[in-house]
A and B are shown apart, each in its own frame.
Chain A
Amino acid sequence: MNRKEFMDELKEHLVGVSKVDRDEIIEDYEEHFKIGKREKRSEKDIVESLGDPRQIAKDARGELSGSNKGELKDEAVDTWVAVKKLSRQVWGRVKEITEIEKVRYPRGEFTNEGWIFLILLLLSIITDHSLFILGTVAVVIYSALKYSNRKDGARNKKAKGTKKKSKGKTNSVRFVISLLFNLLFFFWVWFSVFWVIIGLFIGSIAILISGVVVLGFAIFSLFGYHTVMMGSMIFSGLFAGIGLILLGGLLTDLSEKVMRLFFWATKKYIELNMRFIEE
């Protein structure tokens, strides 16, 4: 064990003492290492003479825990540290996986239209007024049109030379066909899917929040603050909370991707329509 490992283990296990005491003790050991280094002792040697950081933390708890809180059980601390380490590992892995995905579907900038969309969305959920619902749809279509040309312009320049926005005649027959098809059929399908995806996203966030709440109660009970849970319930609460948080996090991320995919598909469909009309 080197100095960093020793200090990390010590900090990790030094729970159940006041912040002041904790900071002071950590400072003391840092000073100890510094002076030892000055005397040309090797880090390994210093660490060996200091002893086991877990035991030190336990002693510190015994000496310094406030009488009103009572002493934290060692098993509780060991469990807590193990849980912290495990969830850090798992979350790291989750981030790894989702980072790879982020490259494939690059995020667009969050523009004014995005804000308008969110506000209209919230209003339509709250009031259930068809005006707002149509508003959200209108914003989506507007943004898709506004931003589709930008990307297409770049792509077409490479392939076929400059091809500006189509100057072709707007075929009125095709326009009517497209309009009828969309209004009578496509729009309703799209609309249902739209709300399902939104619901998925909101549901995922709800799972995430419930996980935080459960974990919060478990932690408070563990430290003796708000004994909502007791004994074995605390352990199940800890793991249930963490599980819900991870599940919620994963689902949120997944549903966010699905949303992005969905809006991209919508944009493509609208472009297709435009091309059809302006042929």
Chain B
Amino acid sequence: MDTQFKKGVLDLCVLCILQRADHYGYELVQKISKDIQITEGTLYPILRRLKNDGYLQTYLKESSEGPSRKYYSLTKNGETKAMELKKEWKDFGRKVGKILK
């Protein structure tokens, strides 16, 4: 799958997964890389950027299995952005679908 294409989509995937529930970094990375072929390492800078842009916030949560983990959740802006990107994706899909017919 084309890298440029993937880059735009990753923001959408991250925001939508987090819309459903909070995740910590590792499990977020595993979830996405399970379905989309990406090198896992590239996700952390993206998460950092989304946080800097104000769409995500983080908190530490103690874990029974070991070190405390950094959890990501959506901010209000993040929620809005998620809806926005979802709509854009659907519109885009529709338009491309038309051309492909």
Contact = CB atoms under 8 A, between A and B. Distances in A.
B14 interface: no
Interface string A57-73: 00110011000000000
Interface in B36-61: 39-42, 44-49, 52
B29 to A, nearest CB: 7
Quick one: which of A24, A36, A56, A63 has the most chain B CB within 10 A? A63
Given A49-B33, A50-B39, A56-B42, A36 B26 contact: yes
A63 B26 contact: no
Contacts of A34: 66-67
**Chain A contact residues, majority secondary structure:** helix
Nearest to A49: B40
Contact of B70 (A31, A49, A50, A53): A31
Quick one: which of B26, B40, B45, B70 has the most chain A CB within 10 A? B45
Nearest to B49: A63
A51 B40 contact: yes
Task: Report the contact-size class of chain A (Cβ under 8 Å from the partner).
Answer: 20 to 34
A60 B26 contact: no
A38 B25 CA distance: 15
B86 interface: no
Contacts of B46: 63
A21 B48 contact: yes
A49 B32 CA distance: 13
